[in-house]
């Protein structure tokens, strides 16, 4: 049986080992060492980090897009 393809391979939740900046709002948000953050890995090898509140906004937008794609496929 064929394995279902995972299309969301470059986004993970990580525990910050050190202080990280939040790439959504660098001046006001950061990720403190030991806290969870959303890490988005780029094709070139870089990584962008997002604090919890910004991560939740990003994931909500992704959820909306996935639902829209599912609706398009089903109709």
What pLDDT digit, counting tens, does each position of 27-66 carry? 999 999 999 999 999 999 999 999 999 999 999 999 999 9
Q: How far apart are CA 75 and CA 39, in angstroms?
A: 33
Q: Could you list the residue range(s) of the whole structural domain that residue 26 is in?
A: 11-74
Instruction: Confirm whether 69 is domain-assigned.
Output: yes
> Rounded to two decimals, what is the model's pTM?
0.87
Output the pLDDT for position 1: 83
Report whether 31 contacts 53 (CB < 8 A): no
CB atoms within 10 A of CB 37: 21
Instruction: Confirm whether 18 is domain-assigned.
Output: yes
Output the pLDDT for position 52: 96
Our count of domains for the chain comes to 1
Output the pLDDT for position 51: 97
Instruction: Confirm whether 47 is domain-assigned.
Output: yes
């Amino acid at each position: 049986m064929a394995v279902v393809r995972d299309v969301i391979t470059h986004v993970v939740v990580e525990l910050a080992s050190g202080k990280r900046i939040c790439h959504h709002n660098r001046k006001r948000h950061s990720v403190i060492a030991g806290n969870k953050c959303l890490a988005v890995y780029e094709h070139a090898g870089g990584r962008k980090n997002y604090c919890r509140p910004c991560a939740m906004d990003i994931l909500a937008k992704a959820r909306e897009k996935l639902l829209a794609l599912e609706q398009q496929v089903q109709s």
